[in-house]
Structure 1
Amino acid sequence: MMGYYGYSGMMGGGWGVILGFIVLVDLVLLGIWLYKQINK
């Protein structure tokens, strides 16, 4: 997670938080999709 704080320093605090949140949501959705695929 420290990488996100490094990026936010360069891009302005808000962007790092937004990008981190989008990545987190994306991983959760991917995990749910894979779980459904496996449990058909």
Structure 2
Amino acid sequence: ILRQNTQTVVGFVTVLVLVFLVANLLVDLLYAVLDPRIRYA
């Protein structure tokens, strides 16, 4: 990673983390919808 690309790398990692978090949230919600046995406290 070159020094000039620091901003790009930080932005890319941030986007990856956001996508990962949103995907996890969607999977959790889908599990709750598809499997009624799952109940959240």
Q: TM-score, with normalisation over the residues of structure 1?
A: 0.71
CA distance 1:12–1:39, shift in 2 (3 Å): same
Task: Return the index of the structure with the highest Cα Rg.
Answer: 2
| Runs of 4 or more consecutive aligned structure 1 residues displaced over 2 Å after TM superposition | none
Shift of 1:11: 5.9
| RMSD, aligned α-carbons | 1.7
Q: Which runs of 5+ in 1 are unaligned?
A: 1-5
The structure showing larger relative contact order (alpha-carbon pairs under 8 Å, at least 6 residues apart) is: 1
